[in-house]
Amino acid sequence: MSINAMTIANRAVLVTGANRGIGHALVQEALRRGATRVHAGARQTLTTLDDRIAPLTLDVTDAAQVQTAAENVATLDLLINNAGLGFHDDITNRAVLERHLAVNLFGTFGVTQAFLPLLTRSHGAIVNVLSISASAPLRDVPAYSIAKAAAFNLTQSLRALLAGRGVRVHAVVTGPVDTEMTRGLNVPKASPQSVAQAIFDGVENGAEDIFADPVSVAVATSRRTSTAKARERGSAA
């Protein structure tokens, strides 16, 4: 399903978790596509020589930092909630689950709420970077899978609630990406650069759900095929 598209050129963009991996690639890709201002949020302020990049000290779990960051941004067209946390666990420790939820769910929620007035004013868009584990939990990272599933539901709810305010909401579904988080995973991985390109392609094409790498595309295609076959069997019954 598609929604109103947004070109990146001449836009103000904010990326959380911008210091490495997909976040760093998103900053560079936004600039390549002509963004006039890219606010790069990270827990430690980034150093940059590009005057189009505005570093923001932004720990998404720190409400005071989030509010200060929002006060220091004058205009915003596109918010990309990319900051995330994921590590191996066996779901026996509540504190580990709470830590995953604090970053992946409540961090996304808090940043979105803080910048929503600016996005409402610009009729902008929100992009939440999620994972295929939201619907297909991975055995070795159950807390991460739970948190991403909650964030996916949050994304769908925001999409319905904010449509009337002219704010578009995109869900990005990724498979394995070659980042620090997946360093020990011995499977084929997409590059952060290719994922960043796919994310902005999806925004510019107005895709509600953006499948940003070959694994997520294959999973989405397989599910669509299974759903179509189930409907055919139901019609024939």
Q: At what angle do helices 192-205 and 21-32 cross, to 10 degrees?
A: 50
The active-site residue, picked from 70, 118, 133, 144, is 144
Q: Report the domain count for the chain.
A: 1
What's the alpha-carbon Rg for the chain, to the nearest Å? 18
Number of residues assigned to the chain: 237
Q: Which of 52, 4, 29, 31 is nearest to 192 (CA)?
A: 29
Cβ atoms of 192 and 180 closer than 8 Å: no
For every one of its 237 residues, what pLDDT tens digit does the chain have, with 9 covering 90 and above?
556 778 999 999 999 999 999 999 999 999 999 999 999 999 988 888 899 999 999 999 999 999 999 999 999 999 999 999 988 889 899 999 999 999 999 999 999 999 999 999 999 999 999 999 888 777 888 999 999 999 999 999 999 999 999 999 999 999 888 876 766 667 778 899 999 999 999 999 999 999 999 988 988 776 666 555 556 666 665
Residue 165 lies inside a defined structural domain of this protein: yes
Query: How far is residue 85's CA from residue 97's CA, in Å, rounded to a whole number?
Result: 11
Supply angle C-alpha 14, 16, 21, rounded to 5: 115
Residue 77 lies inside a defined structural domain of this protein: yes
CB atoms within 10 A of CB 117: 11
Q: Which domain holds residue 164?
A: 12-236
Residue 6 lies inside a defined structural domain of this protein: no
Residue 4 lies inside a defined structural domain of this protein: no
Residue 198 lies inside a defined structural domain of this protein: yes
Query: How far is residue 52's CA from residue 29's CA, in Å, rounded to a whole number?
Result: 13
Tokens matching residue 223:
């599910």
Residue 161's identity, in one-letter code, is L
Residue 50 lies inside a defined structural domain of this protein: yes
Q: What is the CATH number of the domain that holds 141?
A: 3.40.50.720
Residue 204 lies inside a defined structural domain of this protein: yes
Residue 82 lies inside a defined structural domain of this protein: yes
Full-model pTM: 0.90
* 100 has catalytic annotation: no
